Amino acid sequence: SLCAAAAPNLSYQELKDLKKANVLHIDVRERWEIDRFGKIPESINIPLGELMEALQMDPMEFKAQYNQKMPSKSDPVVFSCLAGTRSKQALGFAMSLGFS
């Protein structure tokens, strides 16, 4: 299940279309879930329990930790998880930190 502020529920096809437009895709599943079920291409894994801290990191630290440029508060970001509950929580966390 996928979440973004403008569209709290996205289909897989909508995500594929967004990825063409340079949207950062953050998968908030746990690392063992990625190992078991596979990584979504071009997504970065930040487990939900780490997300608040990650989104408040120094950009250089974020890049070192996740091998990805840290999103700015206005960059398009999509969150995903297995069923949709955690991605909605992630969206709420990001918005509470000022991400639009």
Catalytic residue positions, numbered: 81
Two structure tokens written together for 52: 């608040």
Question: Which string of DSSP letters, residue by residue, matches 48-97?
Answer: HHHHHHHTTS-HHHHHHHHSSPPPPTTS-EEEE-SSSHHHHHHHHHHHHT
Measured CA to CA, the distance from residue 81 to residue 30 in angstroms comes to 9
